[in-house]
Amino acid sequence: MSILAVLLLFGAGEIYVARVSGVINPVTSAYLVETINKAERTDAQCLIIELDTPGGLDESMREVIKEMLNAEIPIIVYVYPKGARAASAGAFITIAAHVAAMAPGTNVGAAHPVSAGGQQVDSVMRDKMTNDAAAYIVSVAKERGRNEKWAEDAVRKSISTAADEALKLKVIDIVAASEEELLERLDGFKVTLKDTVIALATKEHRVVRVSMSLRERFLLTITNPNIAYILLILGLYGLIFELQNPGAVFPGVVGGICLVFAFYAMHILPVNYAGVALIVLALIFFTMELYVTSQGLLGLGGAAALILGSLMLFKSDIPFLKVSVEVIMVVVGITVLFFLILLAFGIHAQFRKPVTGQEGMVGETGVAKTKIDREGGTIAVRGELWNARCDTEIGPDEKVKVIKVEGMVLIVERCGQ
């Protein structure tokens, strides 16, 4: 028996637990690969991957499975908690585990390949994708001694199976309601690791939870299509405000940072750049509406372009790779409302009484410094002395009101008239 087998048999090492909840993408694959490597470096007893995923990207999935198939420690995939699923890419990862476990009320399967780019795929290419995925999952199932027929049907027929049925079909090895029950069921469980049959020893071992780093959690958050979309909008807002108010600095800095993060996310996600162009065009239309008299046409065009661009932004038929309609409606509503408020302020400013120049003197009150009549006189307004005339005679120290400006002469009347 090898040294590794002896160590595992007598329970050396800690039990590592990783948690994946969400889409399988480059961030989650990097997290899982690094966790596997870390568990190997520290001679962990085994690694448990708690899984709840709707699927993900094929390339990221294969990176994880390649690491799992060549792992030097046993890897257990546990579809958990109740209500979780291991769909699409998650089904492949579950099949690739040394031990596959599920909680009651979970399901696995529905692994038919779908084009993430959303483009139309002809029948020949579709068959190639399906055959490649089917061959891959069958080879993985064979390697792990699982139900090859079910695995192929999960790809070709998109079947999905509940935990109890999956156990009967030998798709998985264990059904456990909790992590404690799983560890109890794993104790003494025999697995094949690099052509050596070993028995796991999972009782009375310290469980080490390996969480995503702050960086990984942040990158995983911004690669959510909804977050990436919001970052793109905020970035464009920031740049527009900076261009409208040169030297403001803050909008430009925040906008630039948001755009960098948005571009990182769009590098991973299936972006339709026609959608990006429509969103940019929409914001240009909204800005022009503030300066060009268009009877609202530019605003309507901007709203239409923003809605269409948002719907087209990610070219995918997969729900978790698209922006939700609710988020689009909220963003469009806030954008339209914001520019309507700016437009209302602009219209209000056009009808507001002037406060500077000679026109701004109309309506102001002052005090007569001399007698004022048709021939003229002097008044004090805003701390300044002005020549003034009045159709009626006004005595010194009486309050007067400016009703008109003629050149450098103010036409006034007695206050209260």
Helices (H), 42-114: 58-69, 89-95
Please confirm, yes or no, whether 294 is among the known catalytic residues: no
Catalytic-role residue among 66, 82, 128, 194: 128
Pair 43, 7: CB distance under 8 Å? yes
Distance CA 89, CA 103 (A): 18
* H or E element in which residue 142 lies: helix 123-144
Pair 103, 175: CB distance under 8 Å? yes
Please confirm, yes or no, whether 310 is among the known catalytic residues: no
Distance CA 170, CA 157 (A): 18
Catalytic-role residue among 29, 60, 88, 160: 88
Pair 56, 231: CB distance under 8 Å? no
Distance CA 91, CA 171 (A): 10
Distance CA 108, CA 154 (A): 9
Q: Burial letters for 329-361: b for 16+ Cβ neighbours within 10 Å, e otherwise?
A: eebbeebbeebeeeeeeeeeeeeeeeeeeeeeb
Identity (one letter) of the amino acid at 79? V
Start-to-end Cα distance in the chain: 113
Q: Which residues are catalytic, by number?
A: 88, 128
